[in-house]
Amino acid sequence: MKGILYLFFTTLKNAVKEFFKRPAKVIAGLFFAAMLVLVIVSGQMGAADSAGEFRPIGELQAMILALYAAMFYLMAHQGLSAGASFYSMADVSLLFSCPISNRLVLLYGLIRQMGTSLLVGLFLLFQYSWVHSTYGLSLGGLVLVLVGYALTMFCGQLTAMVIYSATAGDEHRRKNAKMIFYIIGAAFAAGILVPALRAGTDFLGGAIASANAKWTVFIPVAGWLRTIPGMAMSGGLLTLGIGLGLTAVYIGILLVIQTRVNSDFYEDVLKATEISFTAITAKKEGKMAEAIPLNVKVGKTGLGPGKDVFFRKHLLEGRRSGFFLFDIMTVMMAVMALIFSYILREEGVLPVFLFTTYLQMFTALTGRWVKELTFPYVYLIPQPAFRKLLCICKENMLKIAVDAVIVMLPAGLFLKAGVAGIIALILARIGFGILFMAGNILVERIFGSLTNKVLIFGLYFLTMILLAAPGAVLGGVLGVVLGGLLPGQLSAAIGYGITFIWNLLVSVVIGYCCRNILSCAELNNR
Amino acid sequence: MFEVSHVTKRYGKVTANRDISFSVDDGQIAVLLGPNGAGKSTIIKCIAGLLRFEGEITICGYGNKSLEAKRLLGYVPEMPAVYDLLTVGEHLEFIARAYGLTDWQEKAEKLLERFELADKKDKLGKELSKGMQQKVSICCALLPQPKVIIFDEPMVGLDPHAIKVLKTVFTELKESGASVLISTHMLDSVEDYWDIAHIMMNGQFAATKRNHMDAEGEKSLEELFFEITEGKEENQ
């Protein structure tokens, strides 16, 4: 016990000391606190303006159910792959071999994990302004929502650990667990979505009503804790107590299973700890850790014909990673674009395009070409630097095109943008995708030697805005001017087309100017 | 001493260790050799109590997962990992408290000096290089003066001075009556002081050799290793 207490408190003390030693961290902390105060004050003012008229709290409860359920499901799902771990590699190396009982080690991991979950959930406090002004939720209520979030994350991880322990080493059992897991998930999703779909045009109203139905109490953890906002406002302590009580019982049962049935859990957390250690080490070294499926199907071997060895290699890697030319982000983006199209169906395609382009800025930061910069091969291959740069970007360009079709086609069809409009939307998204990639190359080339990743990220966004602005303004102005002369859809299509041409031109210039990024590995610090 | 008896370790359908039995007596140094993927690290993790397995492992008569066994066991993992937010000195203090050691400070100071870590005592784990982390890991394993100690690739990442010190430590452990197991690829690094060598192939012991330094005409460890590993590959 002494050892664990020493470890816990010394780590905590040193974390605080480290925080105050780094001026950047202190400034970030102060900024964080100031922003929080600002959000709280603006929330209070917004609530005063609304004169006590708030939207139904059921809406907020439905959102909370969706957030909690998604987090719980995603966390628990880890139990079907590599498992979950509350521990670091240092724990494995030093703590696990110490003469300390497994239960104490488990307790230590759980307490630490709860702290981490609370920290991760701090973003919720920044929602105070709008939840207070829209739904009248107090700060205390929002803190309770945060506690609920931390509990959900915690329960999700604990569930993953128990699932992994129960199924590790038995493929048959794991498959059964997977099937049960997916069936339960699908059943709950259907329970919410089917009544919503039946509601016809009032899909959202239907979804909110079914998310607030009594049966949702059967959704583990998320269903028990979703009533927090309503209870916080009406003071229904009993229902709140029942929700928290059920969660406590759930945690207790899982702990009993973990400690009594399977007290020897070190092996079960080892793999997840090693995976997270590899990811953390890669991040520290500025490398990108790729999400590789647990079981990679090798399939046909060999790079195939053609001189573009990097392009061929990237295609092969893409195939083996489980997603060929598009990934889960593209699918998520397409779904989000559709949801956005539904919500803003009166506003036309522009808001949807702007929203998806904004998100595209983040996804453009990844890509196999960035990873290629971390390996020595691309620098050593005796070929002109510009050609090599094009080669390593080729797969990404193809991916951008596929992504544009997958994201824009359904949204364009839903919003009845017309053939010309849809083609223009797809081209415009391709243009922005290529521009973001080129901007990324530019930032790598100019600021790659900077070690401050936050600064690089900030510079990337600033650069992107500066590069895209002329094309966007030109396209917008032309679209408006031509709007009076041509049919609306056609003028908008021309506007989108202009942004495509501008972005493409800028990208080619950037690519050519930055071609020597591959002449010397020192030009970026990867 | 410690004893490994009929240990089999499976990961699903893959058998990483198959029916392994061996023991290391007090004052004996055993080395575990084998090509990559032979199952050396797996059996070491089994002994250290990190993995479940079929069979039995005892440390000085205690089941290897019991607290009594853990008190007597030291483990230096293949991948050094230290706490980012503990200083080098605090790592040793943590070990001292976890093992309930008394009067450990002087020994800790000596260890830090021997491994040239004394001036890094107040450095945080995250500020250490891989080699230094390895040294901290070794110091942590040595501090409780274990009766059984297992090293998984201990030389990797160490500077020449640390390698020299570690070799001396091996000899001292042997003289103090500890049972030492070292897994390594560096055959020449263990040539001087090993008592028994086990060569692993495909999760099993392919050969066991006792050290008779003065015996004439006997194959060296290196010769035997290549005869087994390369010979078997040719046969396959």
| pLDDT (tens digit per residue) in A69-101 | 888 888 888 777 766 677 888 888 888 888 888
B130 touches chain A (CB under 8 A): no
Is residue A235 very low, low, confident or very high in pLDDT (cuts 50, 70, 90)? low
Mean pLDDT value of segment A131-145: 83
Q: Answer yes or no: do A335 and A209 share one domain.
A: no
Structural domain contains residue A221: yes
Is residue A296 very low, low, confident or very high in pLDDT (cuts 50, 70, 90)? confident
Is residue A49's pLDDT more than 70? no
pLDDT of residue B236: 38
Chain A residue closest in CA terms to B140: A94
Beta-carbon contacts of residue A273 (< 8 Å; ≥ 6 apart) = A85, A87, A88, A89, A91, A92
Tokens of B191: 């040539």
Mean pLDDT value of segment B194-208: 91
The total domain count for chain A is 2
**In this prediction, what percent of chain A has a pLDDT beyond 70?**
89
Structural domain contains residue A137: yes
Mean pLDDT value of segment B8-34: 92
pLDDT of residue B26: 95
Q: DSSP character for B21?
A: E
Is residue A282's pLDDT more than 70? no
Scanning A276-315 for CB atoms below 8 A from B yields: 277
Q: Please say which residue of A284, A318, A350 terminates a domain.
A: A284
Determine the 3-state secondary structure of B117 from DSSP. Answer: coil
Q: Please say which residue of A284, A300, A321 terminates a domain.
A: A284
Cβ atoms B33, B225 nearer than 8 A: yes
Cα angle vertex A152, ends A149, A155, to 5°? Answer: 150
Give CA–CA dist A11/B228, Å, rounded.
48
Question: Do residue A92 and residue B77 have CB atoms under 8 angstroms apart?
Answer: yes
Chain A residue closest in CA terms to B10: A169
Name the residue among A2, A90, A92 with its Cβ closest to that of B97: A2
Q: CA of B124, closest CA in chain A: separation in Å?
A: 9
Structural domain contains residue A299: no
Mean pLDDT value of segment A423-437: 92
Mean pLDDT value of segment A409-419: 87
CA A326 to chain centre: 16
Q: Answer yes or no: do A390 and A459 share one domain.
A: yes
Domain B2-235 has what CATH class? alpha beta
Is residue B235's pLDDT more than 50? no
Is residue B3's pLDDT more than 90? yes
Mean pLDDT value of segment A475-496: 80
Cα angle vertex B24, ends B22, B30, to 5°? Answer: 95
Structural domain contains residue A305: no
pLDDT of residue A525: 45
Is residue B59 very low, low, confident or very high in pLDDT (cuts 50, 70, 90)? very high
Is residue B14 very low, low, confident or very high in pLDDT (cuts 50, 70, 90)? confident
Q: Answer yes or no: do A435 and A322 share one domain.
A: yes
Name the residue among B51, B98, B140 with its Cβ closest to that of A267: B51
pLDDT of residue B234: 45
Mean pLDDT value of segment A49-77: 81
**Least confident window among A1-15, A331-345, B6-20, B120-134:** A331-345
Q: Answer yes or no: do A201 and A316 share one domain.
A: no
Chain A residue closest in CA terms to B45: A267
Q: Answer yes or no: do A375 and A268 share one domain.
A: no
pLDDT of residue A526: 44
Q: Answer yes or no: do A152 and A254 share one domain.
A: yes
Give CA–CA dist B97/B85, Å, rounded.
17
Structural domain including A233 reads: 2-284
Structural domain contains residue A294: no
Cβ atoms A195, A295 nearer than 8 A: no
pLDDT digits (tens, 9 = 90+) for A305-345: 777 888 888 888 888 777 677 777 888 888 888 877 876 77
Question: Do residue A99 and residue B11 have CB atoms under 8 angstroms apart?
Answer: no
CA distances in angstroms from A345 to A334, A338, A360, B121, B199, listed in the order given: 15, 10, 21, 64, 70
A102 CB neighbour count, 10 Å cutoff: 18
Is residue A374's pLDDT more than 50? yes
- Whether the predicted model's global pTM rises above the 0.95 cut: no
**Least confident window among A311-325, A387-401, B192-206:** A311-325
Q: Answer yes or no: do A279 and A328 share one domain.
A: no
B160 touches chain A (CB under 8 A): no
Mean pLDDT of chain B: 89
Q: Answer yes or no: do A110 and A232 share one domain.
A: yes
Pairing state between β B73-76 and B148-152 = parallel
Give CA–CA dist A91/A108, Å, rounded.
10
Q: Answer yes or no: do A262 and A331 share one domain.
A: no
Is residue B108 very low, low, confident or very high in pLDDT (cuts 50, 70, 90)? very high
Q: Answer yes or no: do A373 and A257 share one domain.
A: no
Question: Do residue B49 and residue A94 have CB atoms under 8 angstroms apart?
Answer: no
pLDDT of residue B215: 65
pLDDT of residue B62: 93
Question: Do residue B12 and residue A267 have CB atoms under 8 angstroms apart?
Answer: no
Chain A residue closest in CA terms to B70: A99
Greatest mean pLDDT among A27-31, A190-194, A235-239, B90-94 lies in: B90-94
Mean pLDDT value of segment A172-188: 86
Mean pLDDT value of segment A135-148: 85
pLDDT of residue A134: 78
Is residue A287 very low, low, confident or very high in pLDDT (cuts 50, 70, 90)? low
Q: Answer yes or no: do A314 and A280 share one domain.
A: no
Sketch the domain layout of chain B as residue ranges: 2-235
Beta-carbon contacts of residue A75 (< 8 Å; ≥ 6 apart) = A84, A152, A153, A155, A156, A157, A159, A160
Structural domain contains residue A402: yes
Question: Do residue B85 and residue A14 have CB atoms under 8 angstroms apart?
Answer: yes
Is residue A202's pLDDT more than 80? no
pLDDT of residue B55: 94
Is residue B232 very low, low, confident or very high in pLDDT (cuts 50, 70, 90)? low
Q: Answer yes or no: do A94 and A227 share one domain.
A: yes
pLDDT of residue A147: 86
Question: Do residue B67 and residue A101 have CB atoms under 8 angstroms apart?
Answer: yes
pLDDT of residue A284: 62
